[in-house]
Amino acid sequence: MSDPRPIIETFGLTKRFGELQAVDHIDLSMREGEVFGLLGPNGAGKTTTLSMLATLLKPTEGTAKVDGHDVLTESAAVRKSIGIVFQEPSSDDILTGRENLYLHALMYGVDRRIREQRFREVLKLVDLEDRADDQVKKYSGGMRRRLELARGLLHKPKILFLDEPTLGLDPQTREHIWEYIRRLVDLERVTVILTTHYMDEAERLCDRVAIIDDGRIIALDTPERLKHIIGGDIVRLRIQDPQLSRMKELGYVVKIDRTGDLVTLTVKDSSVHLQEILSLVGEVKSVELRTPTLNDVFLHFTGHEIRGDSAEGGFFQRVARVRSGGN
């Protein structure tokens, strides 16, 4: 594949907090115009990586180039090229939406002559024109997010960083936010780098996904190709007395996992072979056939799942683990 010029490159990028290796010698190259996802569980080092790229944190080792500027030596130039939407709400809720944009415009030196026009453009992009003069505290969580997206774009950055863009939003609102992100990529021609621990978000939004665990990149490709690594579809069977030895003889069964009465098979061309599997494996209580998700990919590489439900504490659990001398 011919690579368009990289807009971000990292060189052995590393961050340690005391004994904790939060980001461990990461080498990445992100392409202009793509939506690039850093996917991993909480505490994997996604936000730390993003913070170093945004010059909010200094790397312990290594460096990165953002839009041709070194994050260590040219932080001011880097900051002008990027927009960022933080995980936590970062708009001032006592001010109105428009006032928040105004402050941002001042801080980023948006030319006075195009300010008003730019406000209109970004507000239209996220459908907040009607609510622009309401105080942000009257906004819903999704509206706040949209305002922050608009604000991140205000100064026409080349790169937009989104840290967990839909964290804490309900499913319907998340769908909407995804649409807005897609829309701004198309209309503003901006490169988007996002972190997420949601599989569906990475699959739906990202052109390429880097799977990150324990501060290291363990896989990087398009969601499609990552899923292809699994080598087949996933067949989950609930079964009392599985005849696993028979399964092992079948050439198209790539992988077998068993936890109690739950058997997970990875099967090539599953639609053709399902009948045979069912006839050989024993008395099946239930069966589920699905195409692999990025969660399966993650499991494949790490042996554990990304747990979306453990939204808090991942990082601190690891700190605790390091402190107590283990791992």
Is residue 172 within 8 Å of 191, Cβ to Cβ? no
* Contacts by 203-206, CB closer than 8 A, 24 or more apart: 203/293, 203/294, 204/178, 205/35, 205/37, 205/178, 205/181, 206/35, 206/36, 206/37, 206/39
Q: Hey, is 31 helix, strand or coil?
A: strand
By beta-carbon proximity to other proteins, the closer residue of 177 and 226 is 177
- Check residue 79 for interaction with other proteins (CB under 8 A): yes
State which residue, 45 or 152, has the beta carbon closest to other proteins: 152
Of the residues 15, 69, 104, 197, which one makes contact with other proteins according to CB under 8 A: 104
Which of 36, 62, 86, 295 lies at the binding interface for other proteins (CB under 8 A)?
86
Tokens coding 85: 């939407």
Residues that bind other proteins (rule: CB under 8 A) add up to a total of: 26
Alpha helices (runs of H) in the chain, residue ranges in sequence order: 46-53, 75-81, 97-107, 112-125, 141-153, 171-188, 199-205, 223-229, 244-249, 270-281, 294-302, 314-323
**91 is a site residue for other proteins (CB under 8 A):** yes
Instruction: Give the nearest distance from C-beta 95 to other proteins in angstroms.
Output: 6
Question: DSSP assignment, residue 139?
Answer: S
54 belongs to the binding site for other proteins (CB under 8 A): yes
Return the number of the residue (54 or 177) whose C-beta is nearest other proteins.
54
Cβ atoms of residues 166 and 197 within 8 Å? no
Contact status: 106 vs other proteins (CB under 8 A):
yes
**72 with 59: CB under 8 angstroms?**
yes
Binding flag, residue 320, other proteins (CB under 8 A):
no
Q: Is 107 in the site for other proteins (CB under 8 A)?
A: yes
Q: Which of 2, 5, 19, 88 binds other proteins (CB under 8 A)?
A: 88
Q: Which window, 73-81, 190-198, 256-264, 281-289, contacts other proteins (CB under 8 A)? A: 73-81
Q: How far apart are CA 39 and CA 100, in angstroms?
A: 30
> Is residue 73 near other proteins by the rule CB under 8 A?
no
Q: Decide if residue 68 touches other proteins (CB under 8 A).
A: no
198 makes contact with other proteins (CB under 8 A):
no
Which structure tokens are listed for 148? Answer: 């922050």
Residue 162 burial (10 A CB sphere; 0-12, 13-18, 19+): buried
Interaction residues for other proteins, span 131-190 (CB under 8 A): 135
What are 79's strand-pairing partners? Answer: none
Alpha carbons 243 and 303: distance in angstroms, whole number: 24
Nearer to other proteins (CB atom), residue 29 or residue 87: 87
Query: Shortest Cβ distance from residue 309 to other proteins (Å)?
Result: 23
Q: How far is CA 273 from CA 243, 247, 261, 279, in A?
A: 16, 12, 21, 10
Stretch that binds other proteins, among 83-91, 169-177, 250-258, 282-290 (CB under 8 A): 83-91
**Helical H runs in 221-266?**
223-229, 244-249
Does residue 76 touch other proteins according to CB under 8 A?
A: yes
- Out of 55, 196, 270, 295, the residue judged to bind other proteins by CB under 8 A: 55
Task: Tell me how far, at minimum, the Cβ of 122 lies from other proteins, in Å.
Answer: 15
Give me the least distance between CB of 31 and other proteins, in Å please.
23
Burial class (CB in 10 A: 0-12, 13-18, 19+), 303: exposed
Measured from the CB of residue 40, what is the shortest distance to other proteins in angstroms?
Answer: 21
Using DSSP, state whether 218 is helix, strand or coil. strand
> Quick check: 57 binds other proteins (CB under 8 A)?
yes
Residues found near other proteins in the complex (CB under 8 A)? 54-57, 76, 79-80, 84, 86-92, 94-95, 99, 102-104, 106-109, 135
